[in-house]
Structure 1
Amino acid sequence: MTQRFPRVALLALLVGLALHNLAMALLWQVGTRDTALDVVAAWKDALLLVAVAAALIGAGALPRLGWADRFALAYGAIVVLYWLLPQSWLGGEATARGELYALRHHLLPLGAYILGRLLVLDRTWWRRVVATLVGVGVGLATWGLVDVYLVPFQWWRDSGVPDWFSQQLGLAYRCLSGLPENWILNTDEESPARRLVSTFLSPLATSYALVIVMLLVVAMRPRRWTVAAGIVVYAGLLWTHTRAGFVALPAGLLVLALLRRSWPPALLAAASVVVSIAFVALFPTIGPTTTYTPAELACLRNNAAQGGVKSDDPFSTGESSTSSHLTALRDGIRTVARHPWGYGLGNAGVSASRTGLTPKAGESTYTELGVDAGLLGFVAFVGWLVALFVALVPRSQWLAASVAAVAVLGLQTDVIGIHWLSVAVFALAGAALRAAPGTPTPEGVL
């Protein structure tokens, strides 16, 4: 039981975390709210903790610590230290609740990694993991495409999603009837294009998950079903219209090509660049469209007037979305440079936003860590990524490429805040390092 349960829990997390956001929003809609919904939403944390405890009991001898483990433990220790330090010592303003949010946020990838390091997955279990990942990717892409073409946008306005974001999570979105503004590509006022958000309720999170699955499909031995799955997953990735994903996928493919000394992944990387550039240019005319309500249109016009005129060229650094990301990254770097010892947990990112604070850094994983846990936390996390990549190279080129993709994505977004990504990449990386001699690589089991 103590050996089987953690493996089953891992599969449950891979599926459940892909459905989590949609399920929580629907539960809000039917009346499960506030503390009750918080308790339900904690299923993932409880399952991970129980799985780690069961794996620890059933592990027998603990794995020998490598450099990736040392950096991971150092990272965790620094995060806990910054949680314990009084905010007044560091100049932070986070509430106790915000500190707890941030603690859970920063430690999730470590918890997932520890679970993986305690598991020994044989060929049968790796097959189940790989099949689950591909199934999740195909499901995300398929449902997302069905949604943007067949589910009216008004259904989402009238659903529990806007109130779940604003009242349950404390994330207020103003200009799209309470829905996140990035659900829509503001191509024009008459017929703006919808972006694929799938069950994550986010084009970014969906895109990043699909990048990891796409790298897996490419790394596997080509068969009819893998090619078919890859086409569906790539179509879903395109329809998210997430340029960070369009960059991370070729980057991961190039890493895969270098590690394997193989041309096909490099050619696919080049082809992906060409296709994504063409798609970004054509999407305003071929993408699924909707209409704004009068209130939404007034809000957007007011924002545009206050923010000044931005370029509508999707390839320009002056384009509103690109400019916003670059500004956030630049401001975050400056904040960390001025205050390298950090402000304490809960002063950056969503953890700050949810508790009524203005984040001192947002979007980038690295600047958020620099604000919350200082340069020490930032260096430990980066060291962990580098050591993990090096350790994975002889064990799974797919996971090594996935870690590289996560490192790239972390420049723009809070990548560890996407719970599915934290579990999928870090838990499976830990499991690959624990694999017994002779066990095939994850991508080679099917």
Structure 2
Amino acid sequence: MTRRVPALALLALVVGLALHNLAMALLWEAGVRDTALDVVAAWKEALLLVALVAALAAVGTRPDLCWADRLALAYGVIVVVYWLLPQSWLGGEATVRGELYALRHHLLPLGAYLLGRLIVLDRPWWRRIGLAIVAVGVGLAAWGLVDVYLVPLRWWRDSGAPGWFEEQLGLAYRCLSGLPENWILNTDEDSPARRLVSTFLSPLATSYALVVILLLLVCARRRWWTVAAGAVVYAGFLWAHTRAAFLVLPVALLVVAALRRSWAPVGLAVGSAVVSAAFVGLFPSIGPETTYTETELACLRENAAAEGEASDDPFSRGESSISSHLSALRDGIETVARHPWGYGLGNAGVSASRTGAEVKAGESTYTELGVDAGVLGMVAFVGWLVALCLALLRRSAWLTSSVAAVALLGLQTDVIGIHWLSVAVFALAGAAIGSDRGAPPPEDAL
């Protein structure tokens, strides 16, 4: 039974983390808030810790260390050292709580990876987890499409989601009644289009998870149900309308094509690029429409007046969303370049914003790491990702391309802050590295 606990825990995390954000918002609405909700939200770390202890108890011999292991451990040591260093030495101003939030944030993918390295998944377990991942993808897409067409935005405004975002996570969104502004594609004032957010309550997190799931379906043996599932998941991917994901998916498919030495993924990559480009142009006219309240319109007009006129061309660098992401990345790079030794944990991203500290870098995984753990921590993380890809080359086209996709997405967003990706991708990458070199790739188990 002890040997089954880690695999069961991993399966529970793959499914549970897809529902986590929605569950937390509903619990906030039900009155579970502040420290009590923080304790409930820590179920994922608690379950991961239980799984790690069980895996350590069940392991027969210590796995031989590869370069991915060494760089992962080096990354973890650097993060812990930066947590222990006094903020005054580094120029940071994070609170103790912010430091703990950041420590948990940065170490979650490492904990998942260590779990993967300690467990051995046989073919039936790879199949169970693969099927769970496909089910998560279909569920995310199907529920998301139902939501944007049948659940009015008014319901979300009155739900616990705005309070959970602002009061629990410290994410104050002004212009959509407390909901994230990226829920809406601001095409015009009268009939803006809603983006699919699904149970992640985020179009970005949803689309990034769907990239990994689509790669699994492409790499799996072609059957009627994988094709049907792929169609549903791809529809959700399109309706989430995330341009970074539109760009990364074809690149990841080309990685699959190179590893499989097959032209089929090349065709899918080209097809996806063409469909995505067409969809970006068509979405404002075919997407699910909603309306703004008068207060929201006033806020949006005030922002537009303060920020100046932005291009409404979705392919222009001057478009508001693209311009915002590029500006955040540029500012983060400049901050890290000026202060390469870092400020200490808790000075970047959500960890800083929810504890009242100045956010010295946001969005990009790499600039957030550079601020929290210095250039040394950022380089260790990048080296870990590269070593992971190299270690997976002959073991799994799906996981190699997924790690590559995560690495690229990390340029634009805090990708390890998406807990589903942190656990599913890194744990399964670790498990695949631990498999026999001659074993079939895990995607073949589907």
Q: TM-score, normalised by structure 2?
A: 0.99
CA contact (8 A) 1:123 1:439 kept: no
C-alpha distance in 2 between matches for 1:217 and 1:426: 18
CA contact (8 A) 2:402 2:425 kept: yes
C-alpha distance in 1 between matches for 2:415 and 2:323: 19
Among all aligned residue pairs of Structure 1 and Structure 2, give the percentage whose two residues are the same amino acid: 78
Cα distance per residue 1:51-71 (max 9 Å; x no partner) = 001001101211100000000
C-alpha distance in 1 between matches for 2:90 and 2:2: 42
C-alpha distance in 1 between matches for 2:161 and 2:445: 39
Which residue of the partner structure matches residue 375 of structure 2?
Answer: 375
C-alpha distance in 2 between matches for 1:126 and 1:439: 12
Matches within 5 A, 1:32-181: 32-181=32-181
CA contact (8 A) 2:363 2:413 kept: yes
CA contact (8 A) 1:14 1:424 kept: yes
CA contact (8 A) 2:93 2:358 kept: no
Which residue of the partner structure matches residue 239 of structure 1?
Answer: 239
Which residue of the partner structure matches residue 250 of structure 1?
Answer: 250
C-alpha distance in 1 between matches for 2:60 and 2:190: 63
Offset of residue 437 of structure 1: 5.1
CA contact (8 A) 2:220 2:444 kept: yes
Which residue of the partner structure matches residue 424 of structure 2?
Answer: 424
Which residue of the partner structure matches residue 442 of structure 1?
Answer: 442
Which residue of the partner structure matches residue 336 of structure 2?
Answer: 336
In structure 2, what residue type is equivalent to 1:127? R
Which residue of the partner structure matches residue 269 of structure 1?
Answer: 269
CA contact (8 A) 1:68 1:391 kept: yes
C-alpha distance in 1 between matches for 2:252 and 2:218: 10
Matched, 1:327 2:327: yes
C-alpha distance in 2 between matches for 1:45 and 1:53: 12
Matched, 1:230 2:234: no
In structure 2, what residue type is equivalent to 1:269? A
CA contact (8 A) 2:256 2:401 kept: yes
In structure 2, what residue type is equivalent to 1:419? H
The 3-state SS of whatever aligns with 1:362 is coil
C-alpha distance in 1 between matches for 2:284 and 2:410: 27
Offset of residue 32 of structure 1: 1.2
Q: Which moved more, 1:433-442 or 1:362-371?
A: 433-442
In structure 1, what residue type is equivalent to 2:139? G
CA contact (8 A) 1:28 1:164 kept: yes
Offset of residue 246 of structure 1: 0.4
Offset of residue 301 of structure 1: 0.5
Matches within 5 A, 1:196-235: 196-235=196-235
The 3-state SS of whatever aligns with 1:176 is coil
Q: Which moved more, 1:258-267 or 1:192-201?
A: 258-267
Which residue of the partner structure matches residue 300 of structure 2?
Answer: 300
Offset of residue 440 of structure 1: 2.1
C-alpha distance in 1 between matches for 2:45 and 2:36: 15
C-alpha distance in 1 between matches for 2:120 and 2:418: 25
Offset of residue 436 of structure 1: 3.5
CA contact (8 A) 2:406 2:415 kept: yes
C-alpha distance in 1 between matches for 2:34 and 2:76: 29
CA contact (8 A) 1:257 1:263 kept: yes
The 3-state SS of whatever aligns with 1:283 is helix
In structure 2, what residue type is equivalent to 1:66? C
In structure 2, what residue type is equivalent to 1:274? V
CA contact (8 A) 1:120 1:436 kept: no
Offset of residue 253 of structure 1: 0.2
Q: Which moved more, 1:143-152 or 1:35-44?
A: 35-44
The 3-state SS of whatever aligns with 1:359 is coil
Which residue of the partner structure matches residue 384 of structure 1?
Answer: 384
Cα distance per residue 1:102-161 (max 9 Å; x no partner) = 000000000000000001000000000100000000000000000000001100001011
Cα distance per residue 1:398-420 (max 9 Å; x no partner) = 10000110011000000000000
C-alpha distance in 1 between matches for 2:359 and 2:40: 27
C-alpha distance in 2 between matches for 1:300 and 1:254: 40
Which residue of the partner structure matches residue 345 of structure 1?
Answer: 345
CA contact (8 A) 2:394 2:437 kept: no
The 3-state SS of whatever aligns with 1:74 is helix
In structure 2, what residue type is equivalent to 1:233? V
The 3-state SS of whatever aligns with 1:159 is coil
Matched, 1:355 2:355: yes
C-alpha distance in 1 between matches for 2:443 and 2:109: 22
CA contact (8 A) 2:385 2:407 kept: yes
Cα distance per residue 1:371-406 (max 9 Å; x no partner) = 100010011000000000000001111100001100
Q: Which moved more, 1:173-182 or 1:350-359?
A: 350-359
Alignment root-mean-square deviation, CA? 0.7
C-alpha distance in 2 between matches for 1:379 and 1:41: 30
C-alpha distance in 2 between matches for 1:48 and 1:400: 23
C-alpha distance in 1 between matches for 2:90 and 2:109: 25
CA contact (8 A) 2:395 2:437 kept: no
Matched, 1:279 2:274: no
Structure 1 residue runs of 5 or longer lacking an equivalent are none
C-alpha distance in 1 between matches for 2:345 and 2:37: 24
In structure 1, what residue type is equivalent to 2:251? A
